Structure 1
Amino acid sequence: MSGPMKNASSGMSDFYPSFLLPMTEWEESPGEGEPLIEERPSTDPIQLAWSYIRKARSVLLLSRTKEAQEWAMKALELFKAHQHTRGLVHVFLFLGILFLEQGALEKSLENTTLAIELAQNMKSPELEILGFHTVGQVLLKTGEVHEALQYFLQADKKIKEATSLQGSKVFYELETLLFINLGEAFIALGETDNGAEYFALAQEAATHLNNVTVEIRILKGLAIIQKRRGFRKEAMEMLERAIEEAQRYSLRLYLIELWLELGVIHIELNEYDRAIQIFTDVVTESEKNGLFPYVAEGYRNRSLAYEASLNFREALSDFKRFHETLEHISLEQSVSRRRDAEILFELEKAQREAEIFRLRNVELREHKDALERSNRQIQAVAEAGKAITSSLDIQEIARLVQENLKTLMEIEGFSLAMYEEAQEQLQFVFCVEKNEPQSLPPLSLDDSCHLLVWVVQHQQSIRIDDLEKSLAEGVSPLRYLEGVSARSVIGIPLTLGGTIIGTLSIHSQKRKAYSEEDVRLLESIGTFVAIAIQNSQHRQELLRLNEALRAEKEALEQLTRKVSRLANHDGLTGLPNRLLLAELLERAIQRSKRQKTLLAVLFMDLDNFKPINDTFGHQEGDRALVEVAHRIKGALRASDVIARVGGDEFVVLLMDMDNEEGARLVAEKIIKTLEHPLYIEGQLCQLGVSIGIALYPHDGGSGDELIRHADEAMYRIKRAGKNGYTFYSVR
């Protein structure tokens, strides 16, 4: 870049973590360390609304999402009240990115799409371009990279068509945004070289600007490119520069994204403690401000850092928190959809009640009765919706829908099918004909002449008044359920956020049994059914994830136990090794000190063992060592400890002794048990053992001292003729 960018806003300012937005009304650049925007009091409602949206953008960068939403809604109310379309576009674009950061993807797309429509109606090319960028960024963040590229290319086309913008500051800002977004998209596709080219173009275009957030996004993109090319040191330097700028202006959202990238590099450099600390900061900052997608990403990456550092317990714990956060995000979205549907019904109810009141005043009794009847239907639908969405069992959901519909309209048959995208088919989960359950095979979407397939393909409801007559006269080629006698039919798609979930249909043998009002009523209930089905699918997925987590936990626990045993036991004899012996000896000393008893350490070295290895080989020598360990263990009490500390060296700990006589008896017992020869390849082999004994507290106060003194005593026996024992301190 041509030089440091000192201003966090100028001209068309960037108050988002991912977007540039043009705002020429009453902007000013803050100094270092100051908040991005300070609200200016004004009596003009439009100016006040602009100050609210600027305040919302400012606090969003400080990660205060709840406060940001409150300011945005204040601005929305004022812009709506004064029909200020340009202001509404800004608010909807802002809400789009706010909901994206909170993980509410459907609300994010809904607001950004609305912003594009308003911008197109007011023929504002720069706002329309920004709308395309916003939708593209939402899709990019949800992993729909190719779809995101389509929106970025539409933005590119609009920029080229907007000749009135050429050479202006707005043009350079839009062009810079385009190059950054295209660079990020190609990086997401794994096309590093293409991404590098677009970021180079972004750097060149940014020379016309003076914006710190542009610099941060470019530094972040270039750092990712350097990391992928293997230049981690250069990548870290770029990220640290970006972090310094983000901290200087308190850009908390940018800071979280930069921390995530920096932490990954520390993992790749095996700097696990630093990575864990960074991801802990990500989790803390994100949880504090309700940024649950970042919370989930923090837990996931910290789990990888713990796993790489062999801390499997913490790795598993963070992996569970990662899935719990995803579950929370999914649950929040489901609850939000249900709440939105209930609010919609309450609004419709309120509107109809208001209309009823008006009709009462003018004594239009006929219309009043019809509206009251319709209001009762809406109330019944709302109550049915609450019952439906409280269940997670698909069969129970379908049964509740059928029972509630029977109280509202003529129904002789009912079907509920779920769309299976992988198989391109509809799977019937519930079908009833005259109160008798029916079993229907899956319906392929290749059958374009089937009524329910038409509903899925067009995502539209359909009503047929006389199916038999329509087929006979060739008016409609659509067929209905095989083996079902029906004349009047309604079929509706079950959708959420534009995604097909399944279909719902009702039928009757009467002609013209249904009206368009019945279609709308069925669509209203269908909203609740779609939410309930998705909740059920989420529950099944969560059950699957929990089972996978349980299996992974068991595997990790088994691995931990195995690693612990390998680290603390001799691989040949299964006895404690020198490492575990040191720990057991320290415990035994503390026990002896508390209970004021003697502790004996017996250091043993086998006599005449080397000839066995030389004559019969190491394999037979290993078998001999296993047999010796078995014999020595048989001469001890259950509370005593035996460890292998070398090739043919063993150490025994005798605890809770009143005097040295107990150690003497055990030593004699071990010598006696080894007097019996070993049979190796049909030959008798005689072994002996030299034993040195040190007593606590007489011969030493630490484990190392006792082992050393017992070893010295053992060598005295070796020099004296072997196959015997002696105490370190002769009494």
Structure 2
Amino acid sequence: MSTRTWHSIDELNSRSWVLAPTDPREALALAEHAVDEAEKLRYSYGRAVAQLNCGWAHVYLGSYDDALTRIYEARATFDSIHDQIGQIQTLNALGVVSHRIGEREQARAYYRESLRLADESNEAHRRLAALNNLGELACETGDLDSAQELLEQARALAEELDEAQVIATVTVNRGVVALMQGRVADARELLGEAVERTRACGDRIAESNALCFLGDATDVVDDAIALYRQSVQICGETGHREGLVRALGRLGSKCRALGRLDDAERYLMDALADATTPEWWRMIVKPLEALAAEFESAGDQPSTIRIYRSLSSVHQAHAADTAARRVATLRHYHQLEQSRVETVLARARNEELQSRFDRLAAENSLLQLIYAIGREVTATLEMGEIAQRLYRALNEIMSADVFGVALYDDERRVLDYSYVIEQNQRITPFSVSVDSDASFGSWTVRNRKEIVLNDSKREYEAYITKHRPFSAADSLSIVYTPLLYEDRIEGVVTVQSYRKAAYTDDHVDLLRMLAPYLAIAVDNSRKMETIRRLNDQLQSDKQELEQAYRQINHMANHDNLTGLPNRRLLVELIEGHIPLARRNGECFGVLYLDLDLFKPINDTYGHRKGDEVLVEIAARLRSAVRESDSVARLGGDEFVLLVRNVAGQEALAQVAEKIRHAVCRPFVVDGNTHELSVSIGASLFPLHGEECDALLSAADGAMYASKRSSDSAISFAVAGG
């Protein structure tokens, strides 16, 4: 095939490489096209470069699983053509992906190997990339002195090679180091310079990072917010999702600090939606937790619960995703190594390589086991079930005569041993002060380091002053491992055996690798407990509000003295019954009562005794009518009765007479007997009116007619009058 055709593939690769930091989507399309063309022409070098370019485009887009696949393909292709520079490039790319997904130790190993091979090959450009990446990694892990030294070396080499784009990237990283060292003025100067350099060389992704970090170094809040928004815009245009999560998180934190909690929630929830890797999620988990605390302090429990639920669901998803990604990454690496070993074995049957192959197979099996246990542990939010599942799994692998999980309470400064099992039996929960000098667990929390004892009776003094076992029998082999998550100590897990030297290095490694899963599960469980507590409080508040509403509604519709319906409720009852009576063709009556001779009792004995008489009258009225009828007090000594479904005027008169007799029975007030009389006015639906007001008015008028009458205490309204 002609070199001219190969040259067109090289041109595609060159354009893809240049476009990747500016337009990774277009760069990916060009690189994929170059892969297809190179495979057709059997141009191995062109295919390897195109595969690597695909990997870099996926890195810029945040698609790390796809990036790994392409980079491993590129590495295999470079290996097949013995291209050492290509191998160095893939090592650097693998380091970047490991760095992005949180595998920092793996990333450091890749970067260092890339640097070593670059030095051996005298490849200055590859050395420059490794120095810059190692400096950035050192900055993130808090080793600022090393970061500054590595980045200074990178700066000098970049200037010597006249690499404008790398100088810009290194300047961004130097600005971040200065910011972390507290040299804010230097940071502003460096990051301002970085913005100009990245713009000049067209590296928009590096420009978005520089703008965001410059916002961190800016004292004026409005200026900082403007810088973050510029960063968000560029990230949206380029598809730089990591930078988008970072900038949105900063915007949310600024709004929270300004008290604009709704804006803060909007920005942080947008960031959460784009946070597809644990490393990105960690950028916003603390701002979201702080915002939830602000809402809780303000009494806004629905918002608090909404944030905690979002955190918990995403957290749980990332826990499983993290586990899968780490195992997949390592498995991919092991498969590649396995393939290499098998190739060499086929040629040389080298015993050392066979041993290496066996070791890799064992490591792969261990990873599968860790993933299986970790997935089971993180699949539940109940702390008791989490501990039980881990205990069952470990008891099949190692001696676990005693197993325990203790949760650290930072406010109380105690370790709560809520889940301790000895010989398959739960031990009563207990607590230990974290300042105790007689507790292995407390030492582990204070120092954030593991303890491994093969003979506790001989070795305990290195950690505690007195050995006081909490188990029934004395454990001789003891392992304590700290549960660390997001730089927080969640607690400890311990496995103990009655035998000496019961635990191998593999057992300890297994516990060490399982600890992050358990820490994630503990954090998830605590978040769920917070959500439950807030839900319970919200439900309690809701019930109190409902009870208060019922009380207010009752007070608004009932007479406070007698408990009878008041005028407002009476009107509702009559108006509600009119359509039913009209539909069924029924009559109902309204009786309007006014007590006679009540005022002298009030004047003679006082209002308290008068109130007692009114309460007794109310009781007599209720007992004189059916349950389906209604008795209301309008105020003073006036009462109204709604008598449902009566045959006519005669039947209503009988009810009125029964009421008159009930009211006129003698009363005893302070030992003295008194009799009351009552004036009653009656109206009938629909004879005396078809609306509530008309019926009440008619009955009221009839009541006054009763008062004027000397013949009878009961009067009916006049039809049509």
**Shorter-normalised TM-score: what interval?**
0.5 to 0.7
The equivalent of 1:709 in structure 2 is 698
The equivalent of 1:326 in structure 2 is 308
The equivalent of 2:323 in structure 1 is 341
1:535 and 1:419 map into 2 onto residues whose CA distance is: 15
Q: Which has the higher contact order (CA 8 A, sep 6+)?
A: 1
Give the residue type in structure 2 aligned to 1:596.
G
2:371 and 2:343 map into 1 onto residues whose CA distance is: 28
Call closer, same or farther: CA 1:640–1:536 in 2, change over 3 Å: same
SS of match in other structure, 1:457: helix
Call closer, same or farther: CA 1:115–1:566 in 2, change over 3 Å: same
Structure 2: state its 5+ residue gaps.
1-13, 27-57, 72-88, 102-135, 153-169, 198-209, 231-247, 275-283, 346-352
- From the two aligned structures, give the one with the greater helix fraction: 2
**Pairwise CA distance, 1:724:** 1.4
1:454 and 1:256 map into 2 onto residues whose CA distance is: 35
Call closer, same or farther: CA 1:614–1:252 in 2, change over 3 Å: farther
Q: Does structure 1 residue 158 correspond to structure 2 residue 184?
A: yes
Does the 8 Å contact 1:412/1:508 carry over to 2?
Answer: yes
**Pairwise CA distance, 1:423:** 3.3
The equivalent of 2:339 in structure 1 is 357
Call closer, same or farther: CA 1:353–1:443 in 2, change over 3 Å: farther
1:478 and 1:53 map into 2 onto residues whose CA distance is: 62
**Pairwise CA distance, 1:645:** 1.0
The equivalent of 1:49 in structure 2 is 21
The equivalent of 2:685 in structure 1 is 696
The equivalent of 2:585 in structure 1 is 596
1:296 and 1:595 map into 2 onto residues whose CA distance is: 63
**Pairwise CA distance, 1:174:** 9.2
Give the residue type in structure 2 aligned to 1:625.
L
SS of match in other structure, 1:370: helix
The equivalent of 2:575 in structure 1 is 586
TM normalised by structure 1 equals 0.62
Structure 1: state its 5+ residue gaps.
1-41, 55-68, 94-109, 134-150, 182-200, 215-250, 265-277, 308-317
Call closer, same or farther: CA 1:252–1:648 in 2, change over 3 Å: farther
SS of match in other structure, 1:362: helix
**Pairwise CA distance, 1:497:** 1.4
**Pairwise CA distance, 1:379:** 1.8
Map 1:289-300 to 2 at 5 A: none
Q: Which one of the candidate residues 606, 611, 621 is aligned to 1:617?
A: 606
Give the residue type in structure 2 aligned to 1:354.
L
The equivalent of 1:148 in structure 2 is none
**Pairwise CA distance, 1:681:** 1.9
Give the residue type in structure 2 aligned to 1:366.
S
Spell out, residue by residue over 1:215-272, the C-alpha distance to the aligned partner (whole angstroms, 9 max, x if none). Answer: xxxxxxxxxxxxxxxxxxxxxxxxxxxxxxxxxxxx99989998999999xxxxxxxx
SS of match in other structure, 2:355: helix
Does the 8 Å contact 1:176/1:202 carry over to 2?
Answer: no
The equivalent of 1:663 in structure 2 is 652
Does the 8 Å contact 1:327/1:542 carry over to 2?
Answer: yes
Spell out, residue by residue over 1:567-612, the C-alpha distance to the aligned partner (whole angstroms, 9 max, x if none). Answer: 1110111110011011001012111111112222222212222222
Map 1:50-89 to 2 at 5 A: 50-51=22-23, 72-73=61-62
Call closer, same or farther: CA 1:544–1:654 in 2, change over 3 Å: same
Spell out, residue by residue over 1:196-225, the C-alpha distance to the aligned partner (whole angstroms, 9 max, x if none). Answer: xxxxx657x79xx998969xxxxxxxxxxx
Give the residue type in structure 2 aligned to 1:382.
Y
The equivalent of 1:529 in structure 2 is 518
Does the 8 Å contact 1:461/1:519 carry over to 2?
Answer: no
SS of match in other structure, 1:645: strand
The equivalent of 1:653 in structure 2 is 642
**Pairwise CA distance, 1:521:** 1.6
Judge which range, 394-403 or 649-658, deviates more: 394-403
SS of match in other structure, 2:444: helix
1:646 and 1:492 map into 2 onto residues whose CA distance is: 76
Q: Which one of the candidate residues 593, 596, 599 is aligned to 1:607?
A: 596
Give the residue type in structure 2 aligned to 1:676.
R
**Pairwise CA distance, 1:178:** 6.2
Judge which range, 511-520 or 489-498, deviates more: 511-520
SS of match in other structure, 2:664: coil
TM normalised by structure 2 equals 0.62
Spell out, residue by residue over 1:137-193, the C-alpha distance to the aligned partner (whole angstroms, 9 max, x if none). Answer: xxxxxxxxxxxxxx7xx65x3225766679999899899946976xxxxxxxxxxxx
1:303 and 1:470 map into 2 onto residues whose CA distance is: 47
The equivalent of 2:46 in structure 1 is none
RMSD (Å), alpha carbons: 5.4
2:423 and 2:100 map into 1 onto residues whose CA distance is: 49
1:676 and 1:44 map into 2 onto residues whose CA distance is: 106
The equivalent of 1:233 in structure 2 is none
Spell out, residue by residue over 1:476-521, the C-alpha distance to the aligned partner (whole angstroms, 9 max, x if none). Answer: 7777663765555433111221211222233457666545443322
Judge which range, 283-292 or 341-350, deviates more: 283-292
Q: Does structure 1 residue 405 correspond to structure 2 residue 387?
A: no
Give the residue type in structure 1 aligned to 2:645.
D
Give the residue type in structure 2 aligned to 1:49.
P
Call closer, same or farther: CA 1:411–1:670 in 2, change over 3 Å: closer
Q: Does structure 1 residue 502 correspond to structure 2 residue 491?
A: yes
Map 1:150-549 to 2 at 5 A: 157-160=183-186, 177=215, 323=305, 326-363=308-345, 364-409=353-398, 413-431=402-420, 442-448=431-437, 450-464=439-453, 467=456, 470=459, 482=469, 485=474, 488-507=477-496, 514-549=503-538
1:169 and 1:453 map into 2 onto residues whose CA distance is: 48
1:256 and 1:430 map into 2 onto residues whose CA distance is: 37
2:174 and 2:271 map into 1 onto residues whose CA distance is: 34
Call closer, same or farther: CA 1:286–1:111 in 2, change over 3 Å: farther
Call closer, same or farther: CA 1:689–1:302 in 2, change over 3 Å: farther
1:348 and 1:556 map into 2 onto residues whose CA distance is: 55
Instruction: Kindly name which structure, 1 or 2, has the bigger radius of gyration based on alpha carbons.
Output: 2
Does the 8 Å contact 2:252/2:267 carry over to 1?
Answer: no
**Pairwise CA distance, 1:410:** 5.5
SS of match in other structure, 1:50: coil
**Pairwise CA distance, 1:340:** 0.9
1:393 and 1:678 map into 2 onto residues whose CA distance is: 67
Judge which range, 679-688 or 539-548, deviates more: 539-548
Call closer, same or farther: CA 1:331–1:161 in 2, change over 3 Å: closer
Call closer, same or farther: CA 1:700–1:449 in 2, change over 3 Å: closer
SS of match in other structure, 1:693: strand
Does the 8 Å contact 1:116/1:131 carry over to 2?
Answer: no
SS of match in other structure, 1:579: helix
The equivalent of 2:627 in structure 1 is 638
Give the residue type in structure 1 aligned to 2:653.
R
Give the residue type in structure 2 aligned to 1:159.
A
The equivalent of 2:708 in structure 1 is 719
1:419 and 1:255 map into 2 onto residues whose CA distance is: 30
Does the 8 Å contact 1:53/1:75 carry over to 2?
Answer: no
**Pairwise CA distance, 1:462:** 3.7
Spell out, residue by residue over 1:264-314, the C-alpha distance to the aligned partner (whole angstroms, 9 max, x if none). Answer: 9xxxxxxxxxxxxx99xx999979995999999999999999x9xxxxxxx
2:394 and 2:296 map into 1 onto residues whose CA distance is: 49
**Pairwise CA distance, 1:371:** 2.1
**Pairwise CA distance, 1:537:** 3.5
SS of match in other structure, 2:342: helix
Give the residue type in structure 1 aligned to 2:374.
G
**Pairwise CA distance, 1:690:** 1.7
Call closer, same or farther: CA 1:512–1:621 in 2, change over 3 Å: closer
SS of match in other structure, 2:697: helix
SS of match in other structure, 1:426: strand
Call closer, same or farther: CA 1:324–1:727 in 2, change over 3 Å: same
Does the 8 Å contact 2:480/2:493 carry over to 1?
Answer: yes
**Pairwise CA distance, 1:716:** 2.3
